[in-house]
Structure 1
Amino acid sequence: MPSSQTVASGVDDPRPHAPGTSRAPVRIGPLADLLDAGLEAPVLGGRRVRHVNLDTAASAPAFAAVAAHVARVLPYSASVHRGTGYASQASTALLEDARIAVARHVGARLDDHVVFTRNTTDSLNLLASVVPGETVVLDIEHHANLLPWRRHGRRVVIARTSFQATVTALADELARRPAALLSVTGASNLTGEVLPLGLLADLAHAHGARIAVDAAQLLPHRRVDLSASGLDYVAFSGHKAYAPFGAGVLVGRADWLDAAPAYLAGGGAVASVSIDDVDWKPGPERHEAGTPNLVGVTALAAALAEFERIGELARRAHEAALTDRLLGGLVGIPGLGVLRGFDDLDDRLGIATIELEQGSVGLVAAALAAEHGISVRAGRFCAHPFFDRIARRANGLRASLGAGSTSEDVDRFLDALARLVADGPAFEYDRTPAGWCPRIDDRERPSFG
């Protein structure tokens, strides 16, 4: 790979092939209809190709069913909770129905709160503002679950190369000094490794702590159940769950949320206000000041309903087959390696972060988009401490699968990646402050005017 800065429908057969072997001659289609299905991307030289989206770990396109639901409810958009008119009453019902749907989907207890937020980062910052004590986290966390706790007492445990040793280190830290909360990711957005949440919940509770889970990466792939796993809090986002309309949620035990001051001060969060005093409402509304994002909230509920329609078995079979195809194909490409954090965790989502022995992953990512119409991500993926500990190079390239991914998507990516690693890009690129860019870019930009 040149290193200079300027250089020349449904699963038909979900059975995976053995890792490291040639790709299985089966067709694996999408799980559901997504709005980006059939999207064409312009590539250098004036051609257009079908877009391959392998960046769903960052943000996922909308389910077609979610977009249709939003179109149906938009005519009813009006004031929530405080209006007497027909549209206002309908809007209030939509929001509260969404609250019930979220609670049911994640196995919330009857007395848990469901608080709607902007995204997972917002949810975890809200939780950080109410925790009555220190929080213990691992260094593998996304920044959204690493940074908020700094203001209120955070202790970071460096994960070991084995998860079993990491559990021992967590137990030692929780025993060394009491903590109020253990906050962990459900699945790494860097390696795709899925953590055993029930085991971690038992560990936290055995040491008198509660457990919160950043499920932003896990929930779009797997069902998360607070009651069954013994979790106290879970946070996730619509934009990763095929409902990209700007809503997130925090679900969990009520007492800390009810005891703390309102997360945002404003209308809707108060029972009464005087010049000198305020009486905050109890319940979710205490932390939902201002006009709620009705479209985002109801879209998130619609996405969860689509997950339930697809079914857990179908979701797992689709992802397992494609993940095996992806990892097996990467093994056959010389000059790259796939990152992992633990040598004893085999359960993983359809996420693969690679590093090159030579060359720039940023250049490869740019060429995948500009020459092949394939979207991936290059960088450290908002998990800098974890990446810096397990990687040898400064940046990695991440391919992430989703509900719309197909065997053709995986094969196109593997073929394009192999050619780029072996031969380099077919066009010239310059390294700019904005990253690697084609020296002459003749791709047509979309017009939304």
Structure 2
Amino acid sequence: MTVTEQFATRDTARRAPAAQATDAAARPRSGGPGPLAVLADAGLEVPVLGGGFVRHVNLDVAASAPAFDVVAQQVTRVLPYYASVHRGSGYPSQLSTSLVEDARLAVARHVGARDDDLVVFTRNTTDALNLLAGAVPGDTVVLDLEHHANLLPWRSRRLVEGRATIAATLEALDAELARTPAALLSVTGASNVTGEVLPIDRLAEIAHARGARIAVDAAQLLPHRRVDVTASGIDYLAFSGHKAYAPFGAGALVGRADWLDAAPAYLAGGGAVAAVRADGVDWKHGVERHEAGTPNVIGAVAIARALAELERLGDDARRDHEHALTQRLHAGLAGQQGVRVLSGFSEPVDSNGGPSDRLGIATIELERGSVGLLAAALGAEHGVSVRAGRFCAHPFFERTATRSNGLRASLGAGSSADDVDRFLDALARLVADGPAHAYDHSPEGWCPRVDDRPRPDFALA
């Protein structure tokens, strides 16, 4: 049978025992929330070791979320009209220009930007924060719980270690800002390791009271919670489309114009200049100063459509959906043997002993065994995608964990109670009995010794 034929065949009677067992485990124990939104990967089936296919369970949403189905449809509609922007005389070029500028307005509206704020399109959050780092006229204070995207770019960085509680952490930040003035406090909106949400409004008050501005890495927070720049007092906000159901290579930096206008152009090239002479360059101001070259038209369109879909779903509905699944996930992990759930703060807590305000993220470490092997077996034998490692947050992980690596499960708008139960059942089985197949460890991680899973025809050389 060819690869194409194998992917076309979904006869459950021909599935291997491991896949049949996974299907049995997939049946919900007591019902629960289904997906809130339709994603482009809805109904995706993936091959498992030994033969057969199972419905894919994506619990790696915190790394990259699949596209909303409406986003994928919008991209398909726009592609025939794709053209270079801003100076083309043809209809496709003028339409592409309009789409980019409309997307800029959509981003500003969604995050509650001020009228004079800039919305600069970037590649992702990392790119946005590196852009901002070149504009900060002084020190930047950061917490040790930051993702590397908000830890490494700052040229003059002062690191504050998080404390046992959020309240004590805020006091430590305030003390650091009072000790020596800083230009900027840059913090994450939510930990990508634990899902714990920080009080952005309070952090903005602390920064401003000490004469600093505040930047928020909203890569994790924005896809799950509405963020309002003006209402919260945020000076700069960075986020990625690929975590917000628009995985087409774009992100944004939203914020005050003065620092950005005074900073060197982020990229030297066409579009960022008003005039070029043999003896010098006149750089533009505003968003054009930092958007040299041809922009990611499709990425900007995708972000705008994804934000519109998040608004259509509604803030309360998204929060309630995720809260129910997060409770289910943490309650299930609390009953598992041989695992420990990581937490950055000891309070406030809910009935499961975890923080009361958190996104649908849980990172565990094992009492014994390799989380890398566990993650590989979850994917290869059960069709459950998770992530193992330290999640680009090494200082925070080293402070909160007792083992070298953890395993992270993360939820989103397309997640369901069935997904959570599939993961919990497979996790319990693997922790108790180990993988059903042999794996080898390589520099790239754990891989099946014999991988008989076919690849789709579009992935073959």
TM-score bin (small chain): over 0.9
The one-letter code of the counterpart of 2:47 is P
Query: Which residue of structure 1 aligns with residue 227 of structure 2?
Result: 224
Q: CA deviation at 1:282?
A: 1.0
Query: Which residue of structure 2 aligns with residue 214 of structure 1?
Result: 217
Runs (4+) off by over 6 Å: none
Residues 212 and 234 of structure 1 are in contact (CA less than 8 Å); yes or no, is this contact kept in structure 2?
Answer: yes
Residues 24 and 325 of structure 1 are in contact (CA less than 8 Å); yes or no, is this contact kept in structure 2?
Answer: no
Are residues 1:401 and 2:406 paired? no
Query: Which residue of structure 1 aligns with residue 128 of structure 2?
Result: 123
Residues 341 and 362 of structure 2 are in contact (CA less than 8 Å); yes or no, is this contact kept in structure 1?
Answer: yes
> What's the TM-score, normalizing by structure 2?
0.91
Query: 196, 203, 206: which is aligned to 2:199?
Result: 196
Query: 379, 402, 405: which is aligned to 1:392?
Result: 402
Query: Which residue of structure 1 aligns with residue 15 of structure 2?
Result: none
Task: Give CA deviations for 1:2-60 in whole Å, capped at 9, x if unaligned.
Answer: xxxxxxxxxxxxxxxxxxxxx97233111111111111110011021000000000001
Query: Which residue of structure 2 aligns with residue 13 of structure 1?
Result: none
Cα distance in 2, alignment partners of residues 226 and 314 from structure 1: 21
Cα distance in 1, alignment partners of residues 46 and 82 from structure 2: 34
Query: Which residue of structure 2 aligns with residue 425 of structure 1?
Result: 435
The one-letter code of the counterpart of 2:426 is A
SS in 2 for 1:239: helix
Q: CA deviation at 1:436?
A: 1.3
Query: 285, 294, 314: which is aligned to 2:317?
Result: 314
Residues 29 and 421 of structure 2 are in contact (CA less than 8 Å); yes or no, is this contact kept in structure 1?
Answer: no
Cα distance in 1, alignment partners of residues 213 and 136 from structure 2: 10
Are residues 1:361 and 2:371 paired? yes
Query: Which residue of structure 2 aligns with residue 41 of structure 1?
Result: 46
Query: Which residue of structure 1 aligns with residue 296 of structure 2?
Result: 293
Residues 224 and 359 of structure 2 are in contact (CA less than 8 Å); yes or no, is this contact kept in structure 1?
Answer: yes
The one-letter code of the counterpart of 2:287 is P
Cα distance in 1, alignment partners of residues 29 and 315 from structure 2: 23
Cα distance in 2, alignment partners of residues 209 and 312 from structure 1: 30
Which segments of 5 or more consecutive residues in structure 1 lack a partner in the other structure?
1-22
The one-letter code of the counterpart of 1:53 is N
Q: CA deviation at 1:121?
A: 0.2
SS in 2 for 1:148: coil
Query: Which residue of structure 1 aligns with residue 83 of structure 2?
Result: 78
Query: 279, 302, 318: which is aligned to 1:276?
Result: 279
> What's the TM-score, normalizing by structure 1?
0.94
Query: 173, 177, 202: which is aligned to 2:176?
Result: 173
Cα distance in 1, alignment partners of residues 125 and 456 from structure 2: 30
Bigger mean CA deviation after superposition, 423-432 or 406-415: 423-432
Query: Which residue of structure 1 aligns with residue 115 of structure 2?
Result: 110
Cα distance in 2, alignment partners of residues 271 and 74 from structure 1: 30
Q: CA deviation at 1:86?
A: 1.2
The one-letter code of the counterpart of 2:134 is S
Are residues 1:255 and 2:265 paired? no
Are residues 1:445 and 2:455 paired? yes
Cα distance in 2, alignment partners of residues 363 and 277 from structure 1: 57
Residues 47 and 53 of structure 2 are in contact (CA less than 8 Å); yes or no, is this contact kept in structure 1?
Answer: yes
SS in 1 for 2:243: coil
Cα distance in 1, alignment partners of residues 193 and 368 from structure 2: 20
Query: Which residue of structure 1 aligns with residue 239 of structure 2?
Result: 236
What's the C-alpha RMSD, in Å, of the aligned pairs?
A: 1.0
Residues 212 and 231 of structure 1 are in contact (CA less than 8 Å); yes or no, is this contact kept in structure 2?
Answer: yes
Cα distance in 1, alignment partners of residues 29 and 53 from structure 2: 28
Q: CA deviation at 1:447?
A: 2.2
Q: CA deviation at 1:446?
A: 2.0
Cα distance in 2, alignment partners of residues 418 and 90 from structure 1: 53
Query: Which residue of structure 1 aligns with residue 388 of structure 2?
Result: 378
Task: Give CA deviations for 1:173-214 in whole Å, capped at 9, x if unaligned.
Answer: 001110000000000000000000000000000000000000
Q: CA deviation at 1:75?
A: 1.6
Query: 93, 97, 112: which is aligned to 2:98?
Result: 93
Counting aligned pairs with the same residue, the percent is: 75
Residues 137 and 157 of structure 1 are in contact (CA less than 8 Å); yes or no, is this contact kept in structure 2?
Answer: yes
Cα distance in 2, alignment partners of residues 258 and 44 from structure 1: 55
Cα distance in 2, alignment partners of residues 433 and 262 from structure 1: 38
Task: Give CA deviations for 1:322-349 in whole Å, capped at 9, x if unaligned.
Answer: 0000000001111111000011242000
SS in 1 for 2:174: helix
Q: CA deviation at 1:413?
A: 0.3
Query: Which residue of structure 2 aligns with residue 55 of structure 1?
Result: 60
Residues 352 and 398 of structure 1 are in contact (CA less than 8 Å); yes or no, is this contact kept in structure 2?
Answer: yes
The one-letter code of the counterpart of 1:301 is A
Which segments of 5 or more consecutive residues in structure 2 lack a partner in the other structure?
1-27, 349-355
Cα distance in 1, alignment partners of residues 298 and 233 from structure 2: 31
Query: 329, 342, 345: which is aligned to 1:326?
Result: 329
Cα distance in 2, alignment partners of residues 285 and 67 from structure 1: 28
SS in 1 for 2:234: coil
Residues 268 and 285 of structure 1 are in contact (CA less than 8 Å); yes or no, is this contact kept in structure 2?
Answer: yes
SS in 1 for 2:102: helix
Q: CA deviation at 1:405?
A: 0.4
Query: Which residue of structure 2 aligns with residue 18 of structure 1?
Result: none
User: What is the aligned length?
Assistant: 425
Q: CA deviation at 1:441?
A: 1.2
Cα distance in 2, alignment partners of residues 401 and 368 from structure 1: 16
The one-letter code of the counterpart of 1:431 is H
Query: Which residue of structure 2 aligns with residue 7 of structure 1?
Result: none
Cα distance in 1, alignment partners of residues 457 and 177 from structure 2: 54
SS in 2 for 1:371: helix
Query: Which residue of structure 1 aligns with residue 422 of structure 2?
Result: 412
